[in-house]
């Protein structure tokens, strides 16, 4: 096995035993990036010599004090990294170099992780396919003619193609879980407030959350433990202690109650995806888990609710990009107002403009109560549905996406169909609870299928235990994308 194919826990074990060094592991990752990223385009920026890290260097001598010490990781390009360009997939920030690092980046480096690059994404995290990057689309390592999902498509593709050992993404309406499903990797969205958003370039502040994309559930737990926890720089950060999940993944499933919502298994769900998830439920039932049908009646309002709240917050957050203090500035303008208009016209892509205009309209005088106010009421209804369901069950299991990865360009000119790609993931963001996607099968075209496990607020432990139990009974997570094998002897 090539070193770049290892998981975090496998690589950490090898470094600790002196089988290989962090430098050799990082070199293997960079060599594979050089072989395949011209096809995948997972990265926006590659750091050829890796970010200097004294903790990682210590790991080379076999003195590792953290499982992440010396491990090469990738970071989504909307997470600030000191002295490393952070573009958010937009011309607006094409040359922006942050003077500080996000809290999650600082915590990874404090544990000795090695940053190998920043991953491509839909512009300002607005998209479900990574086709809305201002620079180039990312391709799915299982089929380069397919999308990798979005907006964290670069992070998911980098893990699936083994161009890093693990990565971080951000999730506003499914942007970790949906690409994880499309690329056949594990993607975890923690509870809102669990992980600091300080240094995450904001899209929709009441929805955004940072989380890991990894090769297996154990790695997701390891990454979560490192990045989670209170941060005084983020006013939404909670003070609850973070459990040591990675050593508590084994659990008897006989006391687990699984909810199956009818609303997530109806029209629009691909037959192969449904079959994959139903088969996964049978695996968990065989382990002793009890299943029960639950109802989430407000589900049909989810898409409309999300696209009003998210775009309204985006309209406010993205108002700062006006060419005055940083970022792109038009050189054609003759006066201040024209500079504002030209800068935003030239700097933002079509999807970002669409969402800004929709959000501005929803917040405008005369329409605020009719649209944004009602969306907030619907959000409360959606949360209430889940609160009621979680009185009866421990987790809720659904498909992650309605279909496997679709072809590049297939939905690019049909925004509504593109938005429906997130129909099963947005509720976790609207209500704030944790959710994880794990591979649970493949389509007849050889494309990954993902199963979503949702849990109670701040109960990442249980959803990871359920995901781990399923993973131990199957080998879907062990399959490797064709592009990950390029160059192997």
Catalytic residues: 76, 151, 175
Give Cβ neighbours of residue 213 (< 8 Å, ≥ 6 apart).
152, 155, 156, 159, 166, 167, 168, 169, 176, 179, 180, 185, 186, 187
The whole-angstrom separation of Cα 405 and Cα 396 is: 23
Q: Which of 440, 401, 431, 435 is nearest to 418 (CA)?
A: 401
Question: Please, what is the end-to-end C-alpha distance for the chain in angstroms?
Answer: 9
Mode of pairing for the β-strands spanning 290-294 and 186-189: unpaired
Q: How far apart are CA 412 and CA 457, in angstroms?
A: 34
Give 434's contacts (C-beta < 8 A, 6+ positions apart).
Answer: 188, 189, 190, 191, 194, 428, 454, 455, 457, 458, 459, 460, 463
Radius of gyration of the chain (CA): 21
Q: How many other C-beta atoms can be found within 10 angstroms of the C-beta atom of residue 19?
A: 12
Q: Is 3 helix (H, G, I), strand (E, B) or coil?
A: helix
Bridge partner list, 187? 213, 437
DSSP string, 276-343: HHHHHHHHHHHTT-EEEEE--TTGGGHHHHHHHHHHHHHHHHGGG-SSSSSS---SS-SSHHHHHHHH
DSSP state letters, 405-457: PPBTTSSTT-HHHHHGGGTTTHHHHHH---EEEEEEEE-TTS-EEEEEEEEST
Phi, psi of 84 (to 5 degrees): -125, 130
Query: Which residues on adjacent β-strands are paired with residue 76?
Result: 119
Are 166 and 71 contacting, i.e. CB atoms less than 8 angstroms apart? yes
């Amino acid at each position: 096995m090539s070193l770049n194919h290892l998981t975090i826990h496998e690589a950490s074990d090898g470094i600790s035993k002196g089988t290989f060094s962090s430098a050799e592991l990082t070199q293997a990752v960079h060599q594979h990036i050089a072989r395949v990223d011209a096809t995948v385009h997972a990265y926006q920026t590659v750091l050829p010599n890796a970010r200097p890290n004294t903790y990682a260097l210590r790991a080379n001598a076999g003195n590792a004090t953290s499982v992440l010490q010396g491990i090469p990781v990738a970071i989504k390009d909307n997470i600030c990294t000191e002295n490393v360009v952070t573009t958010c997939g937009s011309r607006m920030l094409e040359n922006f170099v942050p003077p500080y690092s996000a809290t999650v980046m600082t915590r990874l480096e404090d544990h000795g992780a090695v940053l190998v690059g920043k991953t491509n994404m839909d512009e300002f995290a607005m998209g479900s396919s990574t086709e809305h990057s201002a620079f180039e689309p990312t391709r799915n390592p299982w089929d380069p003619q397919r999308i990798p999902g979005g907006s964290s498509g670069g992070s998911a593709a980098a893990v699936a193609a083994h161009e890093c050992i693990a990565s971080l993404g951000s999730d506003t309406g499914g942007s970790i879980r949906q690409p994880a499903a499309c690329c056949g990797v594990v993607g975890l969205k923690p509870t809102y407030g669990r992980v600091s958003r300080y240094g995450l370039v904001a899209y929709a502040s009441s929805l955004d959350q940072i989380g890991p994309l990894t090769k297996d559930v154990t790695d997701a737990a390891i990454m979560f433990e490192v990045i989670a926890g209170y941060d005084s720089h983020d006013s939404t950060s909670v003070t609850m202690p973070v459990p040591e999940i990675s050593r508590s993944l084994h659990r008897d499933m006989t006391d687990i109650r699984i909810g199956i919502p009818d609303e997530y298994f109806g029209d629009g769900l691909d037959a192969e995806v449904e079959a994959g998830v139903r088969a996964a439920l049978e695996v968990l039932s065989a382990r002793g888990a009890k299943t029960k049908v639950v109802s989430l009646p407000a589900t049909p309002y989810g898409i409309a609710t999300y696209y009003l709240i998210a775009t309204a917050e985006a309209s406010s957050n993205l108002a700062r990009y006006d060419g005055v203090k940083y970022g792109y500035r038009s050189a054609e303008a003759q006066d201040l107002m024209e500079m504002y208009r030209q800068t935003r016209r030239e700097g933002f892509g079509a999807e970002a403009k669409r969402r800004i205009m929709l959000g501005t309209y929803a917040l405008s005088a005369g329409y605020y109560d009719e649209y944004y106010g009602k969306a907030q009421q619907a959000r409360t209804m959606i949360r209430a549905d889940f609160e009621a369901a979680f009185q009866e069950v421990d987790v809720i299991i659904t498909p992650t996406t309605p279909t496997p990865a679709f072809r590049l360009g297939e939905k690019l000119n049909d925004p509504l169909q593109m938005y429906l790609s997130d129909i099963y993931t947005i509720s976790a963001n609207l209500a704030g609870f944790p959710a994880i996607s794990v591979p649970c099968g493949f389509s007849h075209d050889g494309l990954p299928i993902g199963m979503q496990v949702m849990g109670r607020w701040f109960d990442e432990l249980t959803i990871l235990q359920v995901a781990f139990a399923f993973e131990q009974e199957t080998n879907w997570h062990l399959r490797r994308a064709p592009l990950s094998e390029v160059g192997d002897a």
